[in-house]
Amino acid sequence: MSQEIIIEGPNVEFSQGEAAHHDHEHHEQHFIWKYIFSQDHKIISKQFLITGMIWAIIGALFSVFFRLQLGFPDSTFPIMEKFLGEWAKGGKLSPEFYYALVTMHGTILVFFVLTAGLSGTFSNLLIPLQVGARDMASPFMNMLSYWFFFAASIFMFVSLFVQTGPASGGWTTYPPLSALKEASLGSGVGMDLWLVSMSLFVVSSLLGGLNYISTVLNMRTKGMTMTRMPLTIWAFFFTAVLGVLSFPVLFSGLVLLIFDRNFGTSFYLSEIFINGKALPHIGGSAILYQHLFWFLGHPEVYIIMLPGMGMASEVLATNSRKPIFGYFAMIISLVGITLLAFLVWAHHMFVTGMSPFLGSIFVLLTLLIAVPSAVKVFNWLTTMWKGNLRFTPAMLFAMGFVSMFISGGLTGIFLGNSALDIHLHDTYFVVAHFHIVMGVSAFFGMFAGIYHWFPKLYGRFMNNTLGYIHFFVTFAGAYLIFWPMHYEGIAGMPRRYYDYSAWESFKQFQSLNGFISIVAIIVFFTQLLFVFNFFVSIFKGRKMTNKNPWGSTTLEWTTPIHPGHGNWPGEIPEVHRWPYDFKDDGHGNDFIPQTLPLREGEEAH
């Protein structure tokens, strides 16, 4: 390896006393090792972020295509043929490709954007910087984590171009539909590529997660006790724990599916007659896959939510100029959510014919999640109470996060109760619920993070005016899109339909679907505006002149404006206090950085 600075353990000074030559040395690093196969957590973080953004644009563009079909099933859009060719002959999407787009939209956004793009970016950027470490526990594994994700991305991207189309059985890819090539076009090569891609993704996620956990546990600087860690770190830590414990289960589920597809086993298949012939499979259980899938699938929701929660906590406190309210209650509620996340997976399966008694247990456990969630919401609100609120774009998105989390969380109370789920299951109510809570809300957490830490990433600011436009259009747009969808769900309108016009019970929503599609397209272009703002600001944004532009207490703002590999040019600072001391420091500032020793007579938090 071309890098000499491999630091072991916390509080270690540069090995071989190289501190003075540190900057100099980086100039000699070859471009490839510095920016491509980099082991610097900050560069890897940018790689995850930018790859995630590219995927987000692709995933969102897919939603625009299928919203055109849903909103205007009688019209043709020749521009779609330009993009999709045979799949949208004459400008009309084929049903097969409609389902492929829906499937890819889900897979891309859930896994590639809101898991890799979110955790990958912010765990990488913030864990070493906020706990006071020179880099991850294993920078090499960290690099591998990105490159496995990159490989997964390649496979998924290639699957978009195979002749039979990408996987099209929904992002959950339930067998037998996904297991039998006869059942659907998308269950051909596209499905194999999906499985390979997702398996690589699991590897990437595990490499990353193990690294995050060991960095948080072992690499904290002197004085950084666990209870002095910012809530972001707590959130990333539990996110990683969730991923490490649940992704292997998904992996096992995927391997069994690969066997069923290619090697004639019958894990998920039983008594099937398709395409004019009876298949030899007997004794498998299609429900088994659903258990394995949702054992990851539900924690996955929290893998997506927790980073947003952590970042919203941090941004809300900083911009309210107040400590986060109930720091310990926030940690305990994170623990509660993490534990419960493993005990509720079967609430996705109330109507699969699962034992009703088991269903009741899962109702109880599911609705228990309301308790830690409520604690978090009330603590965020109390954090704002009597604050001195600065509405930076990051702050607005953090507040939007809270608003969306409340709305989406409350509809979860309907769905978690099996007796209500029996009607609402797989309707637009579900679509509205999870898009608000783990789509929009998680994205708002991510946007809050990007606007807030952009100066740390690039030493410049993003444009504020565009940030405000981005927030208000997205916030209003998200409610305009998803609020009315609840009504469609209450009316029983099933999700994943290509066309509702033949249905007496659902066709009255046609004009509403058109409205939703138009708003969705406006919101899509607003997100492009954000992407544009992001990339232009990297080169043209207002330069940062102050190391700590937001008046934050945490360690990442004690590094130079452009930190090199190793983060701090001299010794790693020592931590003396908790991360939310937003109070008068006696010199006219309204915050005290973690690095300042307690004053005489001052009590630790």
Partner 1 sequence: MSAFITVALIVLVFIIIYQIARASEYATIIRGEEKVKANTNRTIAILLVISFILGLYGIWECHKYLVDKLLPVSASVQGDNYDFMFNATLVVTGIVFLATQFVLFYFAFRYQSTEKRTAFFFAHSNKLEILWTTVPPIAMASLVAIGLRNWMAVTSEPPANTQKIEIVGKQFNWIVRYPGKDGEIGKRDFRKIDDATNILGLDWTDKHNMDDVIVPNGELHLVVNKPVQLLIGSRDVIHDVGLPHFRMKMDAVPGIVTTMWFTPKFTTDEMKKKTGNDNFVYEISCDQMCGKGHYSMRGTVIVQTQEDYDKWMASQQPYYAQVNAAPAASTKTDSTKATVTMR
Does 546 help bind partner 1 (rule: CB under 8 A)? no
Compute the least distance from the CB of residue 305 to partner 1, in Å.
17
**Cα–Cα distance between 291 and 300 in angstroms, integer?**
14
- Spatial CB neighbours of 197, under 8 Å, sequence gap ≥ 6: 152, 153, 155, 156, 159
SS3 for 53? helix
SS3 for 460? strand
Q: How many CA atoms lie within 13 A of 258 on its CB side?
A: 14
Does 367 help bind partner 1 (rule: CB under 8 A)? yes
**Cα–Cα distance between 605 and 46 in angstroms, integer?**
34
Cα–Cα nearest to 243, from 215, 278, 201:
201
CB nearer to partner 1: pick between 97 and 122: 97
Q: Which of 499, 574, 585, 602 binds partner 1 (CB under 8 A)?
A: 499
Do 568 and 559 contact (CB within 8 A), yes or no? Answer: yes
SS3 for 277? strand
SS3 for 66? helix
Does 520 help bind partner 1 (rule: CB under 8 A)? no
- Spatial CB neighbours of 123, under 8 Å, sequence gap ≥ 6: 208, 212, 236, 239, 240, 307
Per CB under 8 A, the segment of 10-18, 201-209, 245-253, 346-354 that binds partner 1 is: 346-354
Residues touching partner 1, count (CB under 8 A): 129
Does 25 help bind partner 1 (rule: CB under 8 A)? no
Does 387 help bind partner 1 (rule: CB under 8 A)? yes
Q: Which of 74, 504, 600, 603 binds partner 1 (CB under 8 A)?
A: 504
Site for partner 1 in 284-323 (CB under 8 A): 284-287, 320-323
CB nearer to partner 1: pick between 445 and 566: 445
CB nearer to partner 1: pick between 247 and 294: 294
Do 309 and 369 contact (CB within 8 A), yes or no? Answer: no
Does 502 help bind partner 1 (rule: CB under 8 A)? yes
Compute the least distance from the CB of residue 126 to partner 1, in Å.
22
Site for partner 1 in 81-140 (CB under 8 A): 82, 95-96, 99
Per CB under 8 A, the segment of 37-45, 50-58, 142-150, 497-505 that binds partner 1 is: 497-505
**Cα–Cα distance between 377 and 382 in angstroms, integer?**
9
Query: At residue 82, what is the residue type?
Result: K
CB nearer to partner 1: pick between 34 and 322: 322
Does 335 help bind partner 1 (rule: CB under 8 A)? no
Does 536 help bind partner 1 (rule: CB under 8 A)? yes
CB nearer to partner 1: pick between 467 and 566: 467
SS3 for 274? strand
Does 6 help bind partner 1 (rule: CB under 8 A)? no
CB nearer to partner 1: pick between 35 and 483: 483
Does 481 help bind partner 1 (rule: CB under 8 A)? no
Does 406 help bind partner 1 (rule: CB under 8 A)? yes
Does 521 help bind partner 1 (rule: CB under 8 A)? no
**Cα–Cα distance between 186 and 257 in angstroms, integer?**
15
Compute the least distance from the CB of residue 278 to partner 1, in Å.
5
Does 169 help bind partner 1 (rule: CB under 8 A)? yes
Does 375 help bind partner 1 (rule: CB under 8 A)? yes
Using alpha carbons only, how large is the chain's radius of gyration in Å?
25
Q: Which two tokens stand for residue 159?
A: 């699957």
Neighbours of 278 (CB within 10 A): 10
Binding mask 421-440 for partner 1 (x = CB under 8 A): -xx-xxx-------------
Site for partner 1 in 207-246 (CB under 8 A): none
Site for partner 1 in 557-596 (CB under 8 A): 580, 582-584, 590
**Cα–Cα distance between 447 and 395 in angstroms, integer?**
10
**Cα–Cα distance between 370 and 85 in angstroms, integer?**
46
